[in-house]
Amino acid sequence: MTNPLLADWETPFQLPPFDAISDDDFAEAFDVLLDEARTEIAAIADNPAPPDYANTIEALELAGDRLGRMLGVFHALAGTDSNEARQALQRDFAPRLSAHASEIAMNPALFDRIETLWRRRDRLDLDAEQARVLMLTRRGFLRAGAQLQGPARARHTRIKSRLAVLGTQFTQNLLADERGWMMALSEDDLEGLPDFVRAAARAAGEERGADGPVITLSRSLIVPFLQFSPRRDLRRRAYQAWTARGAGGGDTDNRAIAAEILKLRHERAALLGHADFASYKLETEMAGSPDRVRELLMAVWTPARAAAEADAERLEAMMHAEGVNGRLEPWDWRYYAEKRRKEDHDLDEAALKPYLQLDRMIEAAFDCAHRLFGLDFVPLDVPLHHPDARAWEVRRDGRHMAVFIADYFARSGKRSGAWCAASRSQRKLGGEVRPVVHNVCNFSRPARGQPALLSHDEARTLFHEFGHALHQILSDVSHESISGTSVARDFVELPSQLFEHWLDLPEVLEKFATHVETGAPMPRDMLHRLLAATTHDMGFQTVEYVASALVDLRLHEGAAPDDPMARQAEVLAELGMPHAIGMRHATPHFAHVFSGDGYSAGYYSYMWSEVMDADAFAAFEETGDAFDPETAARLERFILSAGGSDEAGALYSRFRGSLPGVEALLKGRGLADAS
């Protein structure tokens, strides 16, 4: 029987035949396709013909295409529905893929061909995109160690392989901690919780095979529990378990792994001629240097901390008024902040959620994409990676643009958080390829037969990830290496954070925020109160984020710390971190930074992009129409369709005229007047 991962896919849009693929197919396919990719690379490096753009750069772009196709299927399964077999495959694949990447980067014949083209670049008659890809290809080889020799070359290869192993181990340890902990609740323990939290706890208990309701470490469940449970003892237990992920001792403890990762990253940066890993990593980002990152973060930290400290005084007074003595603790903050939101804005999340149905918020995102970019979303009935997932064909003017796949509910084998991935990216080289884009979230599963309801924050997450999806769907370049979200890390969050703005437009909420039972639109006074509360608790939200970003930066500056937890504590002490606020991501569960190096020394990038997204949305506001077609066309042309075809700053400046300052960000967060 033919391995489906090695066969041609006679399926709609050549989607993976998930119903025919088993875990046993991956090992064989990986071996075959890795060998095939190596053969393709060798043919490029050993080509007796003189190097030209087609036989070297274009050939490199297309090499390993079938391996990439198979890995797209595997990652979709391993990230969203992990099991022991898939975890074992991850541990096997990671170092071998790292070795393959090193073999490519360290191939002297291949690099010689690239260098020859680079020296002759002015005589190659390249268009702007080709010139950009040549530069990026050469730079990527240099940053991967192509010029290293002898022991340094061998050591660099070993470091990259070890980092691949450690990143996989970090991720799997975190998943094990999240999957292994739950807090059983009695009916008495449910007292004071809104119906939607009770329903989510019961659904989580059913999914975990428990006898009754449970709280798990899924953010979509534990955060509302911390917001609404009047049981301070249970809040404390849940919060401490949530923040102890990766630091509980035993086989799943990530602290030693984080320390080794930091040391290896620093050593790698030194081998490549950089002072430290932060300098190496930021060299190719918009920020350019650690100092510029720190300047931005501290400009936000100072007013955010002032706002948070003022809020803490008020929350602690509320707690004391209820007869609870002592200091406001981290497990108290969300509970009293929710009470304050109701007091200040007459806004109760339990009353709000029935208006934020998951299906209606999906419709809202699709409608905004249609009004802005002319996209239509047609449901598809095709086999997918999990029964929870659903798919749509994306069309524009009858033309196929992409397949969009969404997987929204939390489950025990699913990596935490929310993300966007492309299992197939757009390109024109070698024939037009349209993308297959995945949005993955971890919303609480509703009770059987009931519609899923979202918090306002979760609805923002849906819009955020869909903004990433639009970046992939609208990509219009020739080379896959610069397609879609293949841009500077501190630019990639611009489309996602920008798209969040459309959720809060009154005309969008009036149309799509309809009551789950009556179908009535959200009352106008509730809508106004919701919008007035968008900066509620922003001091807390900004402090927990900026603290994490500054710790990430400091962990990667200078010599790697022997004890990352001590370095973390040192940074927080220097900042004067408020007692009742924890980091959004502490080191042992900082998956953004330690599962791979995508966001390492780069967690700041959400805020860097936020400086631009506030300014970019202002471009629409200045026209008087949030769906202004000319502004939307410019956004698509210069940013969403352009991928990494030019430097991020140049792309943004073409759209907006210039780069913005931090003022719009502070205003948007309600921190402009804080001191």
Beta bridge partners of 670: none
Q: How far apart are CA 41 and CA 47, in angstroms?
A: 10
How far apart, in whole angstroms, are the C-alpha atoms of residue 158 and residue 252?
Answer: 24
C-alpha distance from residue 245 to each of 167, 182, 183, 413 (Å): 16, 12, 14, 16
Position of tokens 């008087």? Answer: 624
Beta bridge partners of 427: 433
* Residues 541, 669: Cα–Cα separation, whole Å: 10
Please choose, from the candidates 101, 97, 94, 100, the residue with its C-alpha nearest in 3D space to the C-alpha of residue 143. Answer: 101
574 in active site: no
Residues in the chain: 675
Is residue 382 within 8 Å of 415, Cβ to Cβ?
A: no
Query: Distance (Å, rounded) from C-alpha 174 to C-alpha 331?
Result: 21
The backbone torsions φ and ψ at residue 301, rounded to the nearest 5 degrees and listed phi first, read -60, -45
Burial group, residue 527, by CB count within 10 angstroms (0-12, 13-18, 19+): middle
Catalytic one of 40, 129, 465, 610? 465
Distances (CA, A) of 329 to 96, 183, 326, 545, 581: 46, 20, 9, 18, 8
Give the ranges where 181-254 is alpha helix by DSSP (H).
195-208, 219-228, 232-243
Which residue, among 359, 349, 351, has the nearest Cα to 450 in the 3D structure?
Answer: 359
Residue 120 CA to residue 259 CA, distance in Å, equals: 44
Give the DSSP letter string of 519-558: -PBPPHHHHHHHHHTTTTTHHHHHHHHHHHHHHHHHHTSS
> Which pair of structure tokens corresponds to residue 561?
């710390």
Residue type, 211: D
| Opening angle at CA 137, ends 110 and 114, nearest 5 | 35
CB 405 within 8 A of CB 424: no
- Rounded CA-CA distance 196/51 in Å is 63
The residue type found at 634 is: R
Q: Which of 196, 181, 282, 296 is nearest to 239 (CA)?
A: 181
In this structure, what are the phi and psi dihedrals at residue 590, rounded to the nearest 5 degrees?
A: -85, 75
Instruction: Check if the beta carbon of residue 32 is closer than 8 Å to that of residue 398.
Output: no
| Closest to 662 (Cα-Cα) out of 626, 613, 629, 596 | 613
Cβ contact 486:140 at 8 Å: no
Residue whose token pair is 């087609």 = 54
Q: Which residues contact 668 (CB under 8 A, 6 or more apart)?
A: 535, 610, 614
Please tell me what DSSP assigns to residue 53.
I
Catalytic residue IDs: 465
